[in-house]
Chains A and B, each alone.
Chain A
Amino acid sequence: MSFGNLKARNKKPVPPKLMITSMMDMFTIILIFLLFQFSEKPETIHMLEDIELPQSTAKMDHTETIKLVLTQKGLHINNDLIAGVRKGKVIGLDPQNPKASVLYQLLEKEYAKTVQKSDEKQPKEHILLLCDKRHSFKTINDIVKTAALAGYPNFQFGVLKE
């Protein structure tokens, strides 16, 4: 046994040092990226699973208003399901008699509330419509016409930024 080996054995074990610098770099990049993503959006929208929004070059941000969501299975108003959709047709919405539909009645109530709050006779309110891209114009037209009849002729179509 040599003296050299004995010396080595008596050495205290050195705790291993973690290389944190590279990890810090990575975290800093992730943090900056996430902070940018966070500041860009004006508000969060709760998205339903069975909806595929179309892509668009639009740059305008949507504003807080009544939200209509038309998925493959149903029509929602402010996150509440009000009617089912079967074969591209909103159940309970007759295009010949739209005033009998739940959609019209709910929107009319909302419009009456807005008129009470507002000083104007015809407040320029709009509806944010989030619609599945696979729907045909017929389905959308029935909803849009009913909403216009209830006092909402202006719409914002929600789309995904390209």
Chain B
Amino acid sequence: MSILRKGRRNFEEDTELNMIPIMNIFLVIIPFLLTSVSFFHIKAISTSVPVMADSTQVSAVPEKTKMTVIVEMLKGEMRLSATAEELDMEKLAQFEQVIKLQTTGVYPLMKLNEYLQSVKRTYPASDTLILIPDEAVRYDSIIQAMDAARNFNERPLFPNVVLSGSLG
């Protein structure tokens, strides 16, 4: 009886874990991770510049009408238009818009987004946008315009953005 009680008492005794080795490991790992961790995450936006294409690359009879939207970022306004091989000039003229800038250098990207959504609703197969910024437009504004063009609420709008300089 007494042996049993003694055994139970030993079992119930609090045992202290030796945390010192674990702490030592932590103290080594944490500075190592702190030196190699990145607090800035770099992501990428794919884009291209217009190049001469082979005529064989363009299919003769497209299955669905694909609209290519052209966005010109000018000094005081933003000109929006669209082009498609299958559509006539009258239909294309419906997609022409000029949005005046309220503040210099701040482009109305919400309006651009709304315009692109309306094009996408009418021609869902469309996926290409040609962005033509003025020479003075800042790179930051170009990236913001590309963001507005690529998607809206996680839904893709015009994921293929082609960056082009203005002609003439």
Interface residues of A (CB under 8 A from B): 20-21, 23-24, 27-28, 30-31, 34-35, 37-38, 40-41, 44-45, 47, 53-63, 126, 128, 130-138, 140-141, 144-145, 148, 153-161
B3 is an interface residue with CB less than 8 A from chain A = no
Interface size class of B (residues with CB under 8 A): 35 or more
**Sample (24) of A-B pairs whose CB atoms are under 8 Å apart:** A20-B23, A27-B26, A31-B30, A37-B37, A44-B38, A54-B144, A55-B143, A56-B147, A58-B150, A126-B46, A135-B139, A136-B135, A137-B136, A137-B138, A140-B142, A153-B50, A155-B46, A155-B47, A155-B49, A156-B46, A158-B43, A159-B43, A159-B45, A161-B40
| Residue B1 lies at the interface, judged by CB distance under 8 Å to chain A | no
Q: How far is the CB of A122 from chain B (nearest CB, A)?
A: 10
The reply to whether the CB of B41 lies closer than 8 angstroms to some CB of chain A is yes
Is the beta-carbon distance between A134 and B138 smaller than 8 angstroms? yes
User: Chain B contact residues: over half helix, strand or loop, or mixed?
Assistant: mixed
Q: For B26, what are the chain A residues with a Cβ–Cβ distance below 8 Å?
A: 24, 27-28, 31
* B60 touches A (CB below 8 Å): no
CA distance A47 to B106 in the complex (A): 28
The residue in chain B whose Cβ has the minimal distance to the Cβ of A70 is B139
Rounded to whole Å, the gap between the CB of B72 and the closest CB of chain A is 12
Chain A interface secondary structure, helix, strand, loop or mixed?
A: mixed
**B45: which A residues are within 8 A, CB to CB?**
56, 58, 60, 156-157, 159
